[in-house]
A and B are shown apart, each in its own frame.
Chain A
Amino acid sequence: MKDFFAMGGYAFYVWTSYAVAGVVLIANILIPIRLRLRLLADIARKMRRARREP
């Protein structure tokens, strides 16, 4: 197990690579989710305002 994490001495290079890739790929998933929720909330808010106006 320890050998797996040590990656033959190259641990820093290998794990940093996968970490950077992981962060970027996860960010690319979270950003559209957040954007969609924000857009829907924005649209809902505008509609409520429009409905309130006589």
Chain B
Amino acid sequence: MGIVAFIHRMGSPQYFYQVAGRLVPWFGGFCALFLLAGLVGGLVLAPTDYQQGESYRIIFIHVPSAWMSMFIYMVMATAGLLGLVWRVKLAEVIAISSAPIGASFTFIALVTGSLWGKPMWGAWWVWDARLTSELILLFLYLGVIALYGAIEDKRVAARAVAILALVGVVNIPIIHYSVEWWNTLHQPATITKFDKPSIHVSMLIPLLLMALGCKLYYATVVLMRARCEVLERERNSRWVETLPEVAKP
């Protein structure tokens, strides 16, 4: 009963604005904690890799970013579906608020992947399967952001972007598979230490801490952006006009 009532109340933009405002500092605080723990664990405590030396430490930001880029796209597509089919306004807001964050993580994954690849494979850019898939994912994100920006009525824009995200979601596995296929034909097999199932626990723990920290980061920032989107959409409504930050004399 409590959960259902909570979800129902979240449908109200005003309620969401207030609750999100209170949640942000908590998510942010825990995010900082986990990221710090992960960074200390990864950069300081984890032992040197016998194959790659110290350059492997890039994985503690590269891998979680890549995971986040995929995770956020799924959230965006799911929220888009909820907004499109059940017309849930909050879902529309979450979907579009997620896009820039997802694009940012994809960008980080690409840059850190390139910087990891240079000492490993000797080239700034290598057309390996993961980097190529990440590049296409970046284009998918940019498409969502561009399309939303180009449509004036934001409710129509939200629906268009939801369709685009759903088409993207169907294509992502296909694109991944195609790129894997393409890559194994044209590149010699590059085995990285982390393709093997056994990763040393002293490296795994910081990795998971970073992953959790990044998820909390996403939660924090998406709520921050969503609050802005809600303000923008509801600027003419009563509750916005009576906000303490606005109704100053």
**A residues in contact (CB < 8 Å) with B:** 4, 7-10, 13-14, 16-18, 20-21, 24-25, 27-29, 32-33, 35-36, 39-40, 42-44, 47
Contact residues, B70-124 vs A (CB, 8 A) = 100-101, 104, 107-108, 111-112, 115-116, 118-119
* Contact status B224-A29, CB under 8 Å: yes
Mark interface residues in B207-249 (1 if CB within 8 Å of A CB, else 0): 0000000000100110011011001100100001101011110
- Name which of B53-61, B136-144, B176-184 contacts chain A: B53-61
Interface size on B, residues (CB 8 A): 39
Please pick, from B48, B54, B61, the residue contacting A21 in the complex, using a CB distance under 8 A.
B61
User: Which of A25, A27, A29, A47 has the largest number of chain B CB atoms within 10 A?
Assistant: A25
Most buried by A among B55, B107, B116: B55
* 20 A-B pairs in the complex with CB atoms less than 8 angstroms apart: A8-B53, A8-B55, A9-B53, A10-B55, A14-B55, A17-B58, A17-B111, A21-B65, A21-B108, A24-B104, A24-B108, A28-B101, A28-B221, A29-B220, A29-B224, A32-B221, A36-B224, A40-B243, A43-B240, A44-B246
State in angstroms the CA–CA spacing of A7 and B220 once bound together. 31
Q: Is the interface of B mostly helix, strand, loop or mixed?
A: helix
Which listed residue, A10, A16, A40, A43, touches B53 by the CB 8 Å rule? Answer: A10
Residues on B with C-beta less than 8 A from A17 are 58, 61-62, 111-112, 115-116
How many angstroms between the C-alpha atoms of A6 and B217 in the bound complex?
29
Residues of the B chain whose Cβ atoms lie less than 8 Å from the Cβ of A4: 43-44
Closest CB-CB distance, B1 to chain A, in whole Å?
A: 33
In the complex, besides A17-B61, A44-B245, 12 extra interface pairs with C-beta distance below 8 angstroms are A13-B115, A13-B116, A14-B115, A16-B115, A25-B108, A25-B217, A27-B104, A32-B224, A32-B225, A32-B227, A36-B227, A39-B228
Residues of A contacting B: mostly: helix
Q: Tell me whether A43 and B231 are in contact (CB under 8 A).
A: yes
Whether B55 and A36, one on each chain, are in contact in the complex, defined by CB atoms closer than 8 angstroms, is: no
Cα A13 to Cα B54 in complex, Å, equals: 10
* Contact assessment for B228 and A36 in the assembled complex, using a CB-CB cutoff below 8 Å: yes
Q: Let me know if B231 and A39 touch, CB within 8 A.
A: yes
Q: With contacts A13-B116, A21-B112 known, is A40 near B231, CB below 8 A?
A: yes
Q: Which 6 A-B pairs have the closest CB atoms?
A: A8-B54, A32-B224, A10-B55, A7-B54, A17-B112, A8-B53
User: When the two chains form their complex, are residues A35 and B221 in contact, meaning their CB atoms are under 8 A apart?
Assistant: no
A2 to B240, CA, bound (A): 53
Which residues of chain A come closer than 8 Å to B225, judged between CB atoms? 32, 35
Chain B neighbourhood of A28, CB < 8 A? 100-101, 104, 221
